[in-house]
Amino acid sequence: MGFLKLYRQYKTVYKNPFYVAFDRARNKQHIKIIAEDGRSSFWNGDKVDLYALAVNNHLSNDDVDFFTFENSQIPHCINFKYKYAQFMICNIDQSSNFFGIFFGNEYKFLDPANENVIDIGTNIGDSSIYFTLNKAKNVIALDKKFYAIALKNIKANDLEKRITLLNNSYGKDITLNDIIKKYKLDSAVLKIDSSEGEKALIDEEENTLKMFKRMQILCHNDYNELKNKLENCGFTVTIEKEKNYGKNINSNLYLYAKI
Q: According to the model, what pLDDT value does residue 244 have?
A: 63
Q: Please, are residues 129 and 157 in contact by the beta-carbon 8 Å criterion?
A: yes
| Sheet strands side by side (includes 85-90) | 64-65, 77-82, 85-90
CB atoms within 10 A of CB 173: 12
DSSP element (H, E) containing 124? none
Residue 166 CA to residue 28 CA, distance in Å, equals 36
pLDDT over 90 at 20, yes or no: yes
Query: CA dist 254 to 2, 195, 198, Å?
Result: 37, 13, 11
Q: What percent of the chain has pLDDT over 90?
A: 76
Angle at 151 between CA 80 and CA 203, to 5 degrees: 110
Q: Is 90 helix (H, G, I), strand (E, B) or coil?
A: strand
Query: CA dist 10 to 89, 93, 200, Å?
Result: 22, 18, 44
CB atoms within 10 A of CB 205: 11
> Shortest CA distance to 102 belongs to which of 121, 71, 138, 129?
129
Q: According to the model, what pLDDT value does residue 245 have?
A: 62
- Long-range contacts of 66-70, Cβ-Cβ distance < 8 Å, separation of 24 or more: 66/41, 67/35, 67/39, 67/41, 70/41, 70/42
Q: What does the pLDDT average to over 210-214?
A: 97
CB atoms within 10 A of CB 114: 8
Q: What does the pLDDT average to over 216-242?
A: 92
Q: pLDDT per residue over 133-153, tens digit each?
A: 999 999 999 999 999 999 999
Q: According to the model, what pLDDT value does residue 191 have?
A: 98
Residue 244 CA to residue 101 CA, distance in Å, equals 13
Q: What is the DSSP letter of 169?
A: -
Domains of the chain: 3-90 (no CATH), 103-258 (3.40.50.150)
